[in-house]
Structure 1
């Protein structure tokens, strides 16, 4: 089973994904995506690191 990465668009094995749920409370509503490990480490993890 594979999932498409919500950032880069690549299809990756399900066990190599991170489930990302974001609730920005705007008109579009909740974003429920899977992202590959590479995109998670490069794009998402830095957003939560202490500065």
Structure 2
């Protein structure tokens, strides 16, 4: 899934809270509406 791909792409990389906030805002800046927040703590098994 897209969620799993995003999580794998950032796994093991250290990010600041500010950078995570920027990443979470990317879908909106691109005009996309995804039903979950881009975050290392997102549980992709619960995303539909």
Greater share of residues in strand:
1
Greater share of residues in helix:
2
TM-score by length of structure 2 reads: 0.28
Q: Which has the higher contact order (CA 8 A, sep 6+)?
A: 2
TM-score by length of structure 1 reads: 0.27
Larger radius of gyration: 1
